[in-house]
Amino acid sequence: MSTKSLYQEVILDHNRKPRNYGTLEHASHKAVGHNPLCGDHLDITLQLKDDHINQIAFHGESCAICKASASMMTTAVKGKTRSDAETLIQEFREMTLGELDLESPHHLGRLTVFSGIRDLPTRVKCAILPWHTLHAALNDLTDVSTEATNDPVQNISENASDSV
């Protein structure tokens, strides 16, 4: 893959002007995500109302891939049910790991701009971190690390299969 196709305008735009950037004062759910290998971190706060993500915000320091992924994630899951959000988390994870057939029906929409990251294994964690953090927030886990012994991916898989 060419990194030129990864650093597309849509990703650069979300990096420059991240959507839903900040912290919700009255969050019902929140979590912090870390990547200790590079020092990146972000926190996610959200308001769940009638099982829908009513409001969501993120805040932190990270590379462009992570920040754009977080920004686009917040716009994608806002208004969605918890279970729809979990489906997106699962699909996004599978896409970045190269396990999702993009020709088959999925719900990722514009998030497929991140599909090229599957060819950059060292950067996959950057793209996935916001999604793992969202998963942690939705499941009342306070924090998540890319280097944790408990692989958040495992939790996602288990919970996702529960919800299907």
Partner 1 sequence: MAQNNVLAALHTSAEFDVERIRADFPILSIEVEGKPLVYLDNAASSQMPQQVIDRLVHYQTAQHANINRAVHYLSEVATDEYEKARHKIQQFVNAREQREIIFTSGTTDSINLVMHGYGRRFIQAGDEIILTTLEHHSNIVPWQMLAKEKGAVIRVVPINDAGELDIDAYEKLFNERTKFVGLIHVSNALGTINPVKQMIDYAHQHNVPVLIDGAQAAPHIPIDVQALDCDFYAFSAHKLCGPTGVGMLYGKASLLEAMQPFKGGGDMIASVTFEKTTYADIPHKFEAGTPPIAAVIGFGAAVDYLCSIGMDQIAAHETKLLHYATERINAIKGARILGTAAEKTAVISFVLDGVHPHDIGTILSQDGIAVRTGHHCAQPVMQRYNVPATSRASFAFYNDLSEVDVLIEGIQNVQKIFL
Q: Kindly state whether residue 147 participates in binding partner 1, applying the rule CB under 8 A.
A: no
Minimum CB distance to partner 1, residue 55 (Å) = 27
Give phi and psi for 62, each to the nearest 5.
-165, 175
For CA atoms 113, 118, 119, 125, the dihedral sign is positive
DSSP assignment letter at 150: S
Minimum CB distance to partner 1, residue 32 (Å) = 15
Q: Kindly state whether residue 63 participates in binding partner 1, applying the rule CB under 8 A.
A: yes
Q: Kindly state whether residue 10 participates in binding partner 1, applying the rule CB under 8 A.
A: no
Nearest alpha-carbon partner for 73 in 39, 38, 109, 122: 109
Q: Kindly state whether residue 39 participates in binding partner 1, applying the rule CB under 8 A.
A: yes
Residue 58 CA to residue 73 CA, distance in Å, equals 10
Q: Kindly state whether residue 62 participates in binding partner 1, applying the rule CB under 8 A.
A: yes
Q: Which residues contact partner 1 (rule: CB under 8 A)?
A: 2-4, 6-7, 12, 15, 37-40, 61-65, 120, 123, 126
